[in-house]
Amino acid sequence: MIRVHVPCDAGALAVGADKVAAVITREAQARGIELTIVRTGSRGLYWLEPMVEVATAEGRIAYGPVAADDVAGLFDAGFLDGGGHRLRLGRPERIPFLAMQTRLTFARCGVVDPRSLDDYRAHGGWRGLETAISLDPATVVEAVTASGLRGRGGAGFPTGIKWKTVADAKGLQKYIVCNADEGDSGTFADRMIMEGDPFVMIEGMVIAGLAVGATKGYIYTRSEYPHAVATMRAAIEITRRAGLLGEDVAGSGRSFDLEVRVGAGAYVCGEETALLESLEGKRGIVRAKPPLPAHKGLFDAPTVINNALSVAAIPFILAEGPKAYADFGMGRSRGTMPIQIAGNVRYGGLFETAFGVTLGTLVDDIGGGTATGRPVKAVQVGGPLGAYFPRQLFDTPFDYEAFAAKDGLIGHGGLVVFDDTVDMAKQARFAFEFCALESCGKCTPCRIGSTRGVEILDRVLLGGGTDADRALVADLCHTMKFGSLCALGGFTPYPVMSALTHFPEDFGLVPHLQAAE
Amino acid sequence: MPIHETWNPERAAELIAEHVHEPGPLLPILHAVQETFGHVPADAVPLIAEALNLSRAEVHGVVTFYHDFRSEPAGRRVLKLCRSEACQSMGAEALAKQAEARLATRLGSTTPDGRVTLEPIYCLGLCACAPAAMLDGELIGRLDAGRLDTLLAEAQS
Ranges of CATH 3.40.30.10 domains, chain B = 77-156
Q: Whole-angstrom Cα distance, residue B4 to residue B20?
A: 22
Q: Whole-angstrom Cα distance, residue A493 to residue A66?
A: 42
Which of helix, strand or coil describes residue A413?
coil
Say if A419 is an interface residue toward chain B (CB within 8 Å): yes
Chain A interface disruption, residue of B85, B126, B138, most A CBs within 10 A:
B85
CB contact under 8 A, A342 and B27: no
Cα four-point dihedral sign A233, A237, A238, A239: positive
- The whole-number pLDDT of residue A473 equals 97
CB contact under 8 A, B24 and A280: yes
How far does the CA of residue A174 sit from the closest CA of chain B (Å)? 14
Q: What's the alpha-carbon Rg for chain B, to the nearest Å? A: 17
- The whole-number pLDDT of residue A16 equals 98
Q: Looking at the predicted structure, is the pLDDT value of residue A320 above 70?
A: yes
| pLDDT 10s digits, A213-272 | 999 999 999 999 999 999 999 999 999 999 999 999 999 999 999 999 999 999 999 999
Say if B124 is an interface residue toward chain A (CB within 8 Å): yes
- The whole-number pLDDT of residue B1 equals 73
Q: Whole-angstrom Cα distance, residue A243 to residue B95?
A: 49
**Which secondary structure element, helix H or strand E, spans residue A468, and what is its range?**
helix A467-483
Average pLDDT of chain A to the nearest whole number = 97
- As a whole number, mean pLDDT of residues A94-111 equals 98
Question: Do A64 and A5 meet the contact criterion of CB atoms below 8 Å apart?
Answer: no
Q: Which of A10, A264, A349 sits opposite B27 (nearest CB)?
A: A264
Residues in A touching B24 (Cβ below 8 Å):
261, 279-281, 299
Q: Looking at the predicted structure, is the pLDDT value of residue A517 above 50?
A: no
Average pLDDT of chain B to the nearest whole number = 97
ipTM of model over 0.90 = yes
Topology at the third CATH level for domain A424-516:
de novo design (two linked rop proteins) (1.20.1440)
- Kindly report the CATH class assigned to B77-156: alpha beta
- Kindly report the CATH class assigned to A117-326: alpha beta
Ranges of CATH 3.40.50.11540 domains, chain A = 117-326
What DSSP line would sit under A44-72, residue for residue?
SBGGGPSPEEEEETTEEEEE-SPPGGGHH
CB contact under 8 A, A186 and B28: no
| pLDDT 10s digits, A155-212 | 999 999 999 999 999 999 999 999 999 999 999 999 999 999 999 999 999 999 999 9
Q: Which 3-state string (H, E, C) describes A183-208?
A: CCCCCCHHHHHHHHCHHHHHHHHHHH
For chain B, the distance separating the N- and C-terminal CA atoms, rounded to the nearest angstrom, is 12
| pLDDT 10s digits, A354-406 | 999 999 999 999 999 999 999 999 999 999 999 999 999 999 999 999 999 99
Report the CATH architecture of A2-99.
Answer: 3-Layer(aba) Sandwich (3.40)
Instruction: Quote the percentage of chain A above a pLDDT of 90.
Output: 97
> What type of residue sits at position A381?
V
Topology at the third CATH level for domain A329-419:
Ubiquitin-like (UB roll) (3.10.20)
Ranges of CATH 1.20.1440.230 domains, chain A = 424-516
